[in-house]
Amino acid sequence: MNPLISVIIPTHNPNLARLERTIAGLRSQSLPNTQWELLIVDNASDCPIEIDTDWHPNVRIIQENQLGLTRARLAGIQASRGQYLVFVDDDNVLEANYLNQIVDIFQAHFTLGAIGGKSLPEFEIEPEPWVKAFWGCLALRDLGETEQVYFYDPKTGDTKQYPDFAPIGAGMALQRTAALQYVQTIVDNPARLALDRTGRSLQSGGDCDINLTLINLGWGVGYFPQLELTHLISANRLTKAYLARLNRSIAKSWIQVLDAHQIRPWRKISRWSVFLRQLKAFVSYQPWKSPIEYIRWQGACGAFEGQSLLPD
């Protein structure tokens, strides 16, 4: 009999201490492990992943040798057998009732294709106060205790939107049918396959691409506060330099994701003009004044780069 849920952990050269915390969170789930499978997708790691999984009756380690988070997620989806799927990053620790809640939510909202909830931080070191301005960049969120759902119906004439509460990749759960439909739309599309992390690249548009794909196909997406996980944030991700790179990549990939789904609120700009626009933004943002302004300026630089790459 197929499992009720497939838990998919994409990982590339993982920090074993954080991965063990992730596994411990899964081991503590209230949903009996006979009802869910665990798929660890080794995405071209330099060394074999060695982690204790003897406690679980249904674990598979899947090799995906083409580097990239999106490719790893696709490999997990294609290998899965569950009615529902959940992506768990290798630095996520799910609350004990997470998998049970996924089942309850989908059974009550069968027209939702993707759901997510709270992603709360556990920092390796105490961050400087200004870092909180960029929690969203670090896939941290707490949108309160109110459930929120979104559907797009083109018959109404309303403009298609990307809701602020759409699920993020950390802890995102999908209905199987919706996940397979997503795979069909992307598997032969090199541009969309490159929208998320690949090696040292900080591209970050894969979860947005999933949400928009499902919205276009008529599925709803939702935020449910009872879905809660802890996101383990390493010290190196709390620096001005890292957050600047991250914000720049997010801004660039956001434009590319929306354009892939025929949403273009920005006009294309000439590549030769990018440097001049970045220089003008340097004066406007005054990035020498604080880390916040510097990181925001880097975001503006990424947005200009994204606009310059838009197809004619």
| Tens digit of each residue's pLDDT (9 = 90 or more) over 247-283 | 999 999 999 999 988 888 889 999 999 999 999 999 9
Q: Look up the pTM and report it.
A: 0.95
5-233 belongs to which CATH class?
alpha beta
Q: State the pLDDT at residue 30.
A: 97
Does the structure show a pLDDT above 80 at 290?
Answer: yes
% residues pLDDT > 90 (the chain): 85
Q: What residues does CATH 3.90.550.10 cover in the chain?
A: 5-233
| Tens digit of each residue's pLDDT (9 = 90 or more) over 72-115 | 999 999 999 999 999 999 999 999 999 999 999 999 999 999 99
Does the structure show a pLDDT above 80 at 199?
Answer: no
For every residue of the chain, which 3-state class applies, written as one string?
Answer: CCCCEEEEEEECCCCHHHHHHHHHHHHCCCCCHHHEEEEEEECCCCCCCCCCCCCCCCEEEEECCCCCHHHHHHHHHHHCCCCEEEECCCCEEECCCHHHHHHHHHHHCCCEEEEEEEEEEEECCCCCHHHHHHCHHHCCECCCCCCEEECCCHHHCCCCCCCCCCCCCCCCEEEHHHHHHHHHHHCCCHHHHCCCCECCECCCCHHHHHHHHHHHCCCEEEEEEEEEEEEEECHHHHCHHHHHHHHHHHHHHHHHHHHHCCCCCCCCCCHHHHHHHHHHHHHHHCCCCCHHHHHHHHHHHHHHHHHHCCCC
Q: State the pLDDT at residue 168.
A: 96
Does the structure show a pLDDT above 90 at 153?
Answer: no
